[in-house]
């Protein structure tokens, strides 16, 4: 990487990822524009994950190993953010244009970051971005896991340093990724996931499947939407939309059940001045029932 290339740091919180982590590491090291640092945070793994990271670090000085004590189980949401910040505190580089978070079960093509940085360079308002996610099936095929173009993949998230600092970093709560994207928009930054072939991300697990079962994951997803402050009408639309994905029908129903669980129990919700009103205005615009509060100048690139 030459001195004029964007400087970026990847932080990967991982736990028991021995099956896919070698592929993830290889895909990062094969990038046409490599990272300044690739910090892998072993979140208490009980398999060979730590050994894999240490072996890779011996071969490439950009790879850093951070170990966390085993807390007995995988803690999605808050636990992932806590592990991310252990990696963030371990950063040594004084230069950093982008902060990236990457899951240990994802792989990317060799021009992923080069292509993504081209997008950032053409759009001064772009604060957070990713490619699109594809699930690799047992038969070898790929199927896209659908997200809106204004959403960014929490598992493969890249933010400019000014954007990351403007939103105050990640919130150690469930739905931290959804909160992140909307906080970016509130601060005047655009968020995008691009369908470019060079930005294809391969996932080896079904989105929202949880470390327990996909049904548990869908309920947790719905509860997370309640915590974030999603409007009930938008939640109904999302649930109906997700009924067309595996597990068909029941998946969308379980998402709405999770949302109702939060509503009935009146559990705590994310509180940030103006966040819920702004989020719901954005959601109503997507339903054709209103207009968002934040106006960001149009993107200069062609979608």
pLDDT per residue as tens digits for the range 65-121: 999 987 766 666 789 999 999 999 999 999 999 999 999 999 999 999 999 999 999
Q: Which residues of 270-300 are buried (b: 16+ CB within 10 A; e: fewer)?
A: bebeebbebbbbbbbeeeeeeebeeebeeee
pLDDT tens figures, 152-190: 999 999 999 999 999 999 999 989 999 999 999 999 999
Which sign does the torsion angle of CA 232, 233, 237, 243 carry?
Answer: positive
204 pLDDT exceeds 80? no
Residue 16 has pLDDT above 90, yes or no: yes
Structure pTM?
0.92
Q: Report, in this order, helix, strand and coil percent for the chain, each rounded to 5.
A: 40, 15, 45
Going from N- to C-terminal start, the domains of the chain cover 8-203, 214-286
Q: For residue 70, what pLDDT is reported?
A: 78
Taking a C-beta distance cutoff of 8 angstroms, is the pair 161, 96 a contact?
yes
Are 221 and 207 spatial neighbours (Cβ–Cβ below 8 Å)? Answer: no
pLDDT above 60: residue 45 = yes
Q: Are 227 and 174 in contact (CB under 8 A)?
A: yes
Q: Are 39 and 91 in contact (CB under 8 A)?
A: yes
Angle at 210 between CA 44 and CA 181, to 5 degrees: 90
Split at pLDDT 50, 70, 90, the class of 60 is very high
Higher-pLDDT residue of 217 and 289 is 289
Q: Residue 146 has what pLDDT? A: 85
C-beta separation of 8 from 37 below 8 A: no
SS3 category, 172: coil
CB 251 within 8 A of CB 155: no
224: pLDDT strictly greater than 70: yes
**Model pLDDT for residues 227-278, shown as the tens digit of each residue:** 999 999 999 999 998 898 777 899 899 999 999 999 999 889 999 999 999 9
Q: Which CATH class is domain 8-203?
A: alpha beta
């Amino acid at each position: 990487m030459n001195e004029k290339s964007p400087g970026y740091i990847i932080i990967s919180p991982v736990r028991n990822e021995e099956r896919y982590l070698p592929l993830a590491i290889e895909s990062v090291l094969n990038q046409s524009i490599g990272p300044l640092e690739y910090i892998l945070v072993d979140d208490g793994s009980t398999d060979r994950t730590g050994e894999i990271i240490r072996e890779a670090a011996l071969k490439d000085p950009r790879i850093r190993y951070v170990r966390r004590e085993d807390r007995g189980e995988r803690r999605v949401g808050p636990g992932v953010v806590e592990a991310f910040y252990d990696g963030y505190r371990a950063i040594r580089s004084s230069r950093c244009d982008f902060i990236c978070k990457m899951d240990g079960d994802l792989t990317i093509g060799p021009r992923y970051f080069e292509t993504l940085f081209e997008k950032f360079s053409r759009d001064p308002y772009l604060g957070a971005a990713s490619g699109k996610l594809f699930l690799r099936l047992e038969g070898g095929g790929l199927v896209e896991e659908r997200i809106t173009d204004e959403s960014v993949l929490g598992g493969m998230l890249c933010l400019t340093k000014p954007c990351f600092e403007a939103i105050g970093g990640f919130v150690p709560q469930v739905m931290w990724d959804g909160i992140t994207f909307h906080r970016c928009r509130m601060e005047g930054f655009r968020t995008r996931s691009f369908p470019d072939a060079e930005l294809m991300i391969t996932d080896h697990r079904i989105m929202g499947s949880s470390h327990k079962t996909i049904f548990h994951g869908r309920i947790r997803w719905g509860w997370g939407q309640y915590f974030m402050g999603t409007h009930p009408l938008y939640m109904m639309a999302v649930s109906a939309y997700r009924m067309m994905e595996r597990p068909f029908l029941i998946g969308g129903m379980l998402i709405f059940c999770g949302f109702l669980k939060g509503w009935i129990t009146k559990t705590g919700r994310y509180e940030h001045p103006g966040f819920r009103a702004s989020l719901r205005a954005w959601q109503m615009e997507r339903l054709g029932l209103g207009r968002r509060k934040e106006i960001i100048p149009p993107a200069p690139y062609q979608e």
